[in-house]
Amino acid sequence: MTKEVRTRYAPSPTGYMHIGNLRSAIFEYLAARINGGKFILRIEDTDQARIVEGAVEVIYRTLKTIGIRHDEGPDIGGGYGPYVQSERKDIYLPHALQLVETGHAYYCFCTRDRLDALRSEAEARGVQYKYDRHCLGMPVQDILRRIKDGEDYVIRQKAPDSGTTSFHDEVYGDITVNNENLEDQILIKSDGFPTYNFANVIDDHTMNITHILRGSEYLSSTPKFIHLYEAFGWELPVFAHLPLVIKSDGSKISKRNGDAMFDDMIREGYLPEAILNYTVLLGWSPGDEREFFTLAELEKEFTLKGISKSPSTLDYDKLKWMNGEYIRKMPPDEFAAIAEPWISKGLAGENLDIGKIAHMIQKRVVLLGEIPDSIGFLVNAGPVDPSLYENYKMKCDAGLAQEILPMALKALSGLSEWSHDSIYNSMAAAAAAAGMKNGQVMWPVRIALTALAVTPGGAVEIAEIIGKEETLSRIRSAIKQLEA
Ligand code: GLU
C-alpha cells in the first residue's frame, strides 16, 4: 500500500501574508490534492518574541478567501495535534534527550560571554564562526552536577564535520554540500524551548509529513534537517524548494517591508481568483501556453515537475491584466454584487442606477479599487477642454462639435422614453440626417457629458445612467462653453 501523501503549510505568525507565503500554502495544498492526500495547517510560533498579534487570524482568513481548506489544523483538530508549536513543547525535549543518548547531541554549558568571545575571535581572523565543541565529551557526572547546580545549558546537535551531505530536491535537483561548515546547532534553548530548526523537523516527522514545499531560503538549512532525520533513523520526506519571488527592481519581497501583502491586494480590488491564478504562475507552469486556471483545475493539473528554480518576478501589470480578464469573465450579476460597494463610494450619495453602472464598467475596469475615481464624472463633470473634441479618426474638433452638439441636444430633448435604445436611435437618426457616421455624433456628445478623454463607457450608456435632465444640461453648458 502506498503511503498517504501529507503536506503542510507551516507559517510563523510573524506578520501579514505576502504573495510568497500564499504561494507556499497553495503549492502545499495542491501537492496534497493531486495525490488525494491531506493538507495540514501548523502554526510555527517557537519564536515567541517575533509573534505579531492578529497574524494567525490573517492566515485563516487568507486561506478561506482563496478557497483553500485544510484537513487538519489548530481550529479543526486532527489525529496529529496539537497543531501549534507552543502547545507541543513537551514533545521536543524527549526527542532531544534521545539524541543525547545515541550520541547525536550533547549538553552545552558555554556562557554567552564565551560564545561572544569565540565569535569575535573568528571575526578577527576573518573566518566563519563555528562552535568549537568545547562541551562535547563532557563526563556524565559533570553534566549532572552542573545541571543540579542550576547552570544554564542548551542541547546541541553533533553534526558531522567532515565528508559531504547529499540530498535530492524536486526542484533544485541533486545537491551536495561540504559538512565542514555545518555548525553544531542548538536544538533546545536554555529556556527549554526548541529552536525553530529542531521543532520543524520533529513536527514534520511526528505529523507524518511526506512532502515539504517551502521557500528556497530554507534550502541551505536542509542538510541540517537531513542530519536530524538520519540521527533518528527516520525516513526522509520529499523536498521541493520554491524559487524566490522578487520585485521588478530585483529585490526580494519581504514581510518586513510590507511587500505584496494579500490583504492590501484585496483592499485595492484584486479578485481572490485572479490572485490565486497569478500566484500559482509565480514559479509554476503547466508545460504549455495556458495561463488561466481555477482552483478546481489546478487540483487536477498541478505537478512538482512544473516548478521552476529561476526567480519569479512579481509583475503587477500582469496581475492587473489578469484581474481585468477575470472581471470580464464574471457573470454580470456577480460582478454587480462585488462592484456595488466600490460604485457606491464613487457615487458619494448620488442616486444613480448601480446595476447599469456595473454593466457599463465591467467591460473596461481592471481593478475594483479604480472604480470610485473612474466613475466620478457621473456625479460631477468639470468644464470641457475644447481640445478634447479633437479626434482625427472621427474627423472631429471643437468647430464641428459646435455644430453637432445642438443637433444632438435637439434629438435627445424630443425623447419621451429614456432608454439605451431610444437614446442610441435618436442620435443615430440625427447622424444619418446630417450625413455623418454615428461615431461622429457620439464622440463630441461623450466629451460634452464627461469632460474626459477616456471614460469607462460610451455616450449612450453614460447618458442613460445620468438621466435625461442631466444629459441635456451638460450638453447645453458644453455648447455655451464653446460659444464663449
Ligand atoms: N515557519 C516557516 C515560515 O513561515 C515555514 C518553513 C517550512 O515550511 O518549513 O517561513
CA of 419 to the centre of ligand 1 (A): 58
Give the CA diameter of the chain.
109
CA of 63 to the centre of ligand 1 (A): 16
How many other CB atoms sit within 10 Å of the CB of residue 46? Answer: 22
Write phi, then psi, for 182 (nearest 5 degrees).
-70, 135
Q: What is the DSSP secondary-structure string of 6-62? A: EEEE----SS--BHHHHHHHHHHHHHHHTTT-EEEE-B----GGG--TTHHHHHHHH
Give the residue whose CA is nearest to atom 10 of ligand 1. 11
CA of 458 to the centre of ligand 1 (A): 50
> Which of 214, 244, 245 for a ligand 1 pocket mutation test, highest count of atoms within 8 Å of Cβ?
214
Three cell numbers at 155?
A: 542541547
Q: Which atom of ligand 1 is nearest to the CA of 14?
A: 4
DSSP classification of residue 49: G
Contact 246, 253 (CB under 8 A): yes
Q: What pLDDT sits at residue 1? A: 62
Q: Within 13 A of 360's CA, how many CA atoms are on the CB side?
A: 24
Q: Is the CB of 33 under 6 A from ligand 1?
A: no
> Helix-strand-coil percent breakdown of the chain, rounded to 5?
50, 10, 35
Residues 6+ apart with CB under 8 A from 44: 10, 11, 12, 85, 196, 199, 200, 203
Give the residue whose CA is nearest to atom 3 of ligand 1. 11
The enclosing H or E element of 60 equals helix 55-66
Q: Which atom of ligand 1 is nearest to the CA of 196?
A: 1
Task: Please report, to the nearest 10 degrees, the dihedral formed by the alpha carbons of residues 386, 392, 395, 400 taken in order.
Answer: 10
The enclosing H or E element of 57 equals helix 55-66
Q: Which residue in 38, 158, 255, 320 is the catalytic one?
A: 255
DSSP classification of residue 359: H
Q: Is the CB of 44 under 6 A from ligand 1?
A: yes
Identify which of 215, 102, 223 has the alpha carbon closest to the alpha carbon of residue 155: 102
Q: Which atom of ligand 1 is nearest to the CA of 217?
A: 10
CA of 11 to the centre of ligand 1 (A): 5
Contact 232, 7 (CB under 8 A): no
> Which of 9, 12, 85 for a ligand 1 pocket mutation test, highest count of atoms within 8 Å of Cβ?
12
Cα(163)–Cα(161) distance, rounded to whole angstroms?
7
Q: Which atom of ligand 1 is nearest to the CA of 204?
A: 9
Give the residue whose CA is nearest to atom 2 of ligand 1. 11
Q: What is the DSSP secondary-structure string of 269-330? A: T--HHHHHHHHHTSSB--SSS-----HHHHHHH--GGGB--S-EE--HHHHHHHHHHHHHHS
- Judging by DSSP bridges, how do beta strands 38-41 and 105-108 pair with one another? unpaired
CA of 457 to the centre of ligand 1 (A): 47
Q: Is the CB of 45 under 6 A from ligand 1?
A: no
Q: What pLDDT sits at residue 47? A: 82
How many residues would you count in the chain? 484
Q: Is the CB of 218 under 6 A from ligand 1?
A: yes
Contact 289, 338 (CB under 8 A): no
Report angle CA 23, 49, 64 to the nearest 5 degrees: 30
Cα(475)–Cα(477) distance, rounded to whole angstroms?
5
Q: Is the CB of 11 under 6 A from ligand 1?
A: yes
How would you write the pLDDT of the chain (484 residues) with one tens digit per residue? 678 999 999 999 988 899 999 999 999 999 999 999 999 999 999 888 888 889 999 999 999 999 999 999 999 999 999 999 999 999 999 999 999 999 999 999 999 999 999 999 999 999 989 999 999 999 999 999 999 999 999 999 999 999 999 999 999 999 999 999 899 999 999 999 999 999 999 999 999 999 999 999 999 999 999 999 999 999 999 999 999 999 888 888 877 777 889 999 999 999 999 999 999 999 999 999 999 999 999 999 999 999 999 999 999 999 999 999 999 999 999 999 999 999 999 999 999 999 999 999 999 999 999 999 999 999 998 899 999 999 888 888 899 999 999 999 999 999 999 999 999 999 999 999 999 999 999 999 999 999 999 999 999 999 999 999 999 999 999 999 999 8
Q: Is 255 in the active site?
A: yes
Q: Is the CB of 196 under 6 A from ligand 1?
A: no
pTM of the prediction? 0.91
Q: Which domains does the chain have, with CATH numbers?
A: 6-73+245-313 (3.40.50.620), 86-242 (3.40.50.620), 330-369 (no CATH), 386-483 (1.10.10.350)
First and final CA of the chain: distance in angstroms? 87
> Which of 14, 22, 24 for a ligand 1 pocket mutation test, highest count of atoms within 8 Å of Cβ?
24
